[in-house]
Amino acid sequence: MRLSELNMGESAIIVKVLGTGAFRKRITEMGFVKGRKVTPIKAAPLNDPIEYSLLGYSVTLRKNEASFIEVVSPKEIDHTLFTPTVNGFHTLEQTEEELLKQTAKEKGKNIQVALIGNPNCGKTTLFNFASNSREHVGNYGGVTVESKTAVFHHKGYTFHLTDLPGTYSLSAYSPEELFVRNFIFENTPDIIINVIDATNLERNLYLTTQLIDLDIKMVVALNMYDELQAGGDKLDYPHLSRMLGVPFVPTISTKGYGIRELFDKVINVYTDKDKTYRHVDLNYGDEIEQSICKIQKPIRHNTELTAVISSRFLAIKLLEKDKQVQSLIASCENASDITAITSSEIHRLEVLYAEDSETLITDTRYGIIAGALKETYVPGNLPKRKLSDAIDTILTNKALGFPIFFIFLYLMFQATFSLGAYPQEWIENLVGLIGQWVKQLMPAGPLTDLIADGIIGGVGSVLVFLPNIILLFMFISFMEDTGYMARVAFIMDKLMHKIGLHGKSFIPLIMGFGCNVPAIMSTRTIENRNNRILTILITPFMSCSARLPVYILFVSAFFPQYAGTALFIIYLTGIALAVSMALLFKKTLFKADDLPFVMELPPYRLPTMRSILKHMWFKSQQYLRKMGSVILVASIIIWALGYFPKNVSYSRNYADEIKTIETHYNTLLATASNPDEILKEKEAKLAEISLAQQSEHQEKSYIGRIGKFIEPVMLPLGFDWKVSVCLLSGIAAKEVIISTMGVMFQANDQEEEGKFSLQEKLKQHTYSSGVKKGQLVFTPLTVIALLMFVLIYFPCVGVMAAISKETGSWKWAFFVIFYTTTLAWILSFIIYQTGTFLTSLI
């Protein structure tokens, strides 16, 4: 709890003091240090400030200042920490005092750590290694679009580690910069770990200088240190540490080198035992320092603000014309004084240097960095980025860039289908055997049908595509980890510019091949709001991994000889539709000025097998969890809707027909010379009657009634009521289409025992009524229309929630539902009706 929440007369032990360095220093100088006992005595007439008893004397604090002091009260005593003395006796006062101090000591071992750094600096890799987490790492900007938190223990301390989005600075331009800055202001972490790329010190240290101005305890992880040494460079990081007052620790996140030492250093800085750490005011030069001091003076009167944000940081940001800081200052009582002084000093500096004040501060920062590196850094003689540049001459070549990219995509889909076919068949057979085993083991009844047909049939039909999903994510992970994804954005920028988008928009689109939800979230890296929303609106056209099982099921069944090519064409069709809709929206809904293409091209890095396997395993877990939740529930619901009502009014008396057939063939068997042929004919007739009865029952079940209700809308596309129900279920998640088919088509033909062949059942499925009664539903033409519909229509519920969150309004989510479903119907209608007409002419 916080000191401001303590009741009058209630004693507590101080755990830690939060806030900026200057605020902490002033508070601790007053005696508010951890481990000390403090008691609120009385409040002023207006209940603020409050008088406290501390170290035998009285001191007053305002409530807002007391809220930055974390304490532990008797109510929070952890009795499990108390160990009695040898004789087992304690007075109540001694017991409570000891318990209180022990509890405070343990609570003080909880350290809130924020990981902050540039994109591509290895921050998330460090986070994964330190916390044994499985966050995915991509070698391009914008992978971490939200903060990720993990808890782990090291040397008796509990670390609450937060991985923040990659950002180049603490300005207020991009969503990442605002997110990181607001996180620091609102959560006041105990320690910041600033992860920097050792191979790009000058640019990475720019963020470090801003963090120093914030006056928060910090440790710098000098990451990718092996690459710095491999390049022949030398860095006297102990001297750099002393110059900046911040400890530097060399690390290699991919190998775990230096991670333990890094957190050892964090503990030492947190406990004030590190001799290197001290706050240093970076010198911006006499004239700028004079302006900073003048602005800083009136800011200091606002203790509520300066307890959270360093007054020096605020002053510098005002000189940089930071709009968010200007709005913070506007709420201060002396806002007019601060604004007037700021305007005066900005004018003075701009006249003096004939330079915009924001540019002046930026140049000065780089000047400070250059001066520090001049004393500590010796570049090697080896050429920089030689390998990356050599690879780029091929992969980003004007003539070769596009062909190589599309060849890679083709190979990805071909391998996803071809390599995944073998384990897919094994899992398919295993699922079939399990279903047959359950039916043989359990007595006939609703429970057996639920388990065998509903759960195993529904979930199993989706499970068989797990190998294909794993392979797809392996390829996408490889593209991201190597740095090739950033090159794709580079070569695509001109094309994206033609349709009114930024090259950065292509990264979320490619990520959409994995899952549309993180792809939509990654659009935060796009600065222009109109371009962000436009990218979000076309991202659902990217065929996510949830649609892949549907594609593979139908492509392998109806186009087996051209499966890889067909899969490639489907994905290209999605891209083409995204481009077309982007052009349409850009000319109608969104009109904005073009933005310059500014994006880092990181050096190529060979991903470790460990990182790829972790990514594949993580995605596999997500897929399996989905089967254990959404798909399982959907399968049970679909089964129940198809199973009930149990008693329906049949159009024929199936019982009498079965009895008549049995009587007829039993008479024939009594005198027949060829009983085996007659017996086989009898079983075929009975199977035909049983199949007709089950089909009619399913048609008159609850799910049949739903399907018949929507069938008139879908029939012009070639889809009967069963296909319509499957598509309707896909609104929850596209994999549910497969699980629904697994349940719906259980009774449509007699397969050899132990074989689970949904594809064969689909091939033999026929219309049950109307002018097409008895005709096959799934022809190549119908399948093409169906795949087009699945590609386009109604993104899943998770995507809708992501769109609403990222755009800040449900209206865009509903717009996506409307326009994608309408477009899906129109295009599928055109394909089916045109194809039917042309076929009739042949």
Higher pLDDT, 61 or 751: 61
Sheet holding 218-223, edge to edge: 148-154, 157-163, 110-117, 191-197, 218-223, 248-250
How far apart are alpha carbons 285 and 308 in whole angstroms? 26
Confidence at residue 468, expressed as pLDDT on a 0 to 100 scale: 79
Q: What SS3 class is residue 8?
A: coil
Peptide linkage before 49 cis (omega within 30 of 0): yes
Give the mean model confidence (pLDDT) for residues 415-440. 82
* Contact in structure between 64 and 304 (CB atoms under 8 Å): yes
How far apart are alpha carbons 670 and 546 in whole angstroms? 56
How far apart are alpha carbons 211 and 246 in whole angstroms? 10
Q: Report the phi/psi class of residue 82: left, alpha or beta, with left for phi > 0 and alpha for psi in -120 to 50.
A: beta
Residue 112 vs residues 32, 180, 191: alpha-carbon distances, Å: 20, 15, 6
Sheet holding 50-54, edge to edge: 57-61, 50-54, 37-43, 12-17, 69-72
Peptide linkage before 645 cis (omega within 30 of 0): yes
The 10s digit of each residue's pLDDT in 522-545 is 787 676 778 888 889 999 999 888
* Burial grade of 463 (CB within 10 A; 0-12, 13-18, 19 or more): buried
How far apart are alpha carbons 19 and 310 in whole angstroms? 9
The 10s digit of each residue's pLDDT in 366-410 is 999 999 999 999 987 765 556 777 888 888 888 888 888 888 878
Confidence at residue 63, expressed as pLDDT on a 0 to 100 scale: 83
Read off the tokens for 722. 């069963």
Confidence at residue 821, expressed as pLDDT on a 0 to 100 scale: 94
How far apart are alpha carbons 458 and 738 in whole angstroms? 7
Longest Cα–Cα distance in the chain: 119
Dihedral sign of CA atoms 486, 488, 491, 494 in order: negative
Read off the tokens for 261. 């030492």
Helices 780-792 and 721-729: angle between axes, nearest 10 degrees: 20
Read off the tokens for 750. 């007699």
Confidence at residue 753, expressed as pLDDT on a 0 to 100 scale: 40
* Contact in structure between 538 and 565 (CB atoms under 8 Å): no
Residue whose C-alpha is closest to residue 719's, from 828, 804, 632: 828
With a cut of 90, say whether residue 93 has pLDDT above it.
Answer: no
Confidence at residue 22, expressed as pLDDT on a 0 to 100 scale: 79
How far apart are alpha carbons 832 and 842 in whole angstroms? 16
Which position has the token pair 């004919």? 681
pLDDT band at 600 (very low <50, low <70, confident <90, very high): low
Instruction: Name the range with the highest mean pLDDT among 234-248, 470-484, 524-538.
Output: 234-248
> How many of the other CB atoms lie within 10 Å of CB of 585?
19
> Is residue 473 within a helix (H) or strand (E), and if so which, with residue range?
helix 466-482
Q: Which distant-in-sequence residues (6+ apart) come within 8 Å of 222 by Cβ?
A: 196, 198, 228, 235, 237, 248, 249, 250, 251
How far apart are alpha carbons 225 and 768 in whole angstroms? 69
pLDDT band at 140 (very low <50, low <70, confident <90, very high): very low
> How many of the other CB atoms lie within 10 Å of CB of 640?
16
Confidence at residue 139, expressed as pLDDT on a 0 to 100 scale: 47
Confidence at residue 146, expressed as pLDDT on a 0 to 100 scale: 65
Cut 0.85: pTM above it: no
